[in-house]
């Protein structure tokens, strides 16, 4: 299992370089940046994190497909992959529908859009000249001048059963949502793996975690920020052994990478990152 850190948009952008450097120094495998409306840009955050590090892989979870033209998204991802080869993990999803509605980008069938978008994006990144006339994605002979060869892995995200199965069927992997209970992660892994037809996909789970004095209280305050009630087997609080135990359970479900999500009120973020590395 790979161990990483989720740089949640509750942390201001100006701290990203400091935290990315700390994550690499601590020996973590991955750093995941977010694109939540209307907080931080996933592309800009990934570029900054890649530029100030030399080894750690940087994942984007997730770029909302309705918000970004697929050709523009392909250009941005290909540029990053060529500048920092082998260190970018791309991720796209439906976007939160209320946010998509706020910017006039909400669609009637998010699932159809994501399938059309991911298929076109993969072909563009691979250097194909793409013409499609889908329900939402329309391209007329579009080809990147500087494609990514090989392209970065394309992770798909979503919450519903059909979205999870889509990630298993056409994605290079799946990124699960925040604030899920262990049994929900187990069930989601089952849906994804059932759609892979014997070719397992990487699965990234986000785990809210805290250590030190008041750890459980901080986890209990964090979980409701993501639309869930505190408790109910969501998150982990305790020492390194407690966090490791939770990671082992997630691995048994089929999770291949965990992005640890610190609480918004974590008193020593870089120190917590160091603990994870140890």
What's residue 17's pLDDT?
98
Residue 14 is classified by DSSP as G
CATH number at residue 49: 3.20.20.30
- Reported as a pLDDT band with limits 50, 70 and 90, residue 200 is confident
Over residues 116-131, the pLDDT tens digits come to 999 999 999 999 999 9
Instruction: Please write the tens of the pLDDT for every residue from 122-157.
Output: 999 999 999 999 999 999 999 999 999 999 999 999
Q: Residue 99: which domain range? A: 2-277
Cα dist. 81→43, 67, 74, 192 in Å?
A: 11, 21, 10, 26
The CA-CA-CA angle for residues 124, 130, 136, to 5°, reads 90
Domain count, the chain: 1
* 218-277 pLDDT, tens digit each: 999 999 999 999 977 899 999 999 999 999 999 999 999 999 999 999 999 999 999 999
Is 105 in contact with 95 (CB distance < 8 Å)?
Answer: yes
pLDDT at 198 over 80: no
Q: Judge if pTM exceeds 0.75.
A: yes
């Amino acid at each position: 299992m790979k161990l990483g850190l989720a740089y949640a948009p509750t942390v201001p952008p100006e701290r990203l370089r400091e935290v990315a450097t700390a994550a690499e120094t601590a020996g973590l495998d991955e750093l995941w940046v977010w694109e939540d409306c209307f907080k931080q840009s996933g592309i800009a955050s990934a570029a900054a994190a890649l530029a100030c590090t030399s080894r750690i892989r940087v994942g984007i979870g997730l770029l909302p497909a309705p918000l970004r033209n697929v050709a523009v998204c392909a250009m941005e991802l290909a540029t990053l992959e060529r500048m920092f080869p082998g260190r970018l993990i791309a991720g796209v999803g439906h976007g939160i529908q209320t946010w998509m509605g706020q910017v006039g980008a909400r669609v009637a069938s998010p699932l159809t859009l994501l399938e059309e978008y991911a298929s076109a994006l993969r072909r563009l990144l691979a250097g194909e000249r793409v013409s499609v006339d889908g329900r939402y994605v329309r391209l007329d002979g579009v080809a990147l001048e500087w494609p990514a060869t090989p392209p970065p892995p394309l992770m798909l995200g979503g919450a519903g059963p059909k979205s999870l199965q889509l990630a298993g069927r056409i994605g290079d992997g799946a990124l699960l949502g925040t604030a899920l209970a262990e049994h929900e992660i187990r069930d989601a892994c089952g849906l994804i793996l059932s759609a892979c037809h014997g070719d397992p996909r990487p699965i990234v789970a986000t785990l809210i975690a805290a250590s030190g004095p008041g750890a459980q209280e901080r986890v209990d305050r964090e979980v409701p920020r993501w639309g869930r009630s505190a408790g109910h087997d969501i998150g982990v609080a305790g020492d390194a052994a407690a966090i490791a135990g939770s990671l082992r359970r997630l691995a048994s479900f089929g999770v291949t990478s965990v992005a640890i999500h610190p609480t918004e009120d974590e008193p020593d973020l870089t120190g917590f990152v160091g603990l994870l590395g140890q």
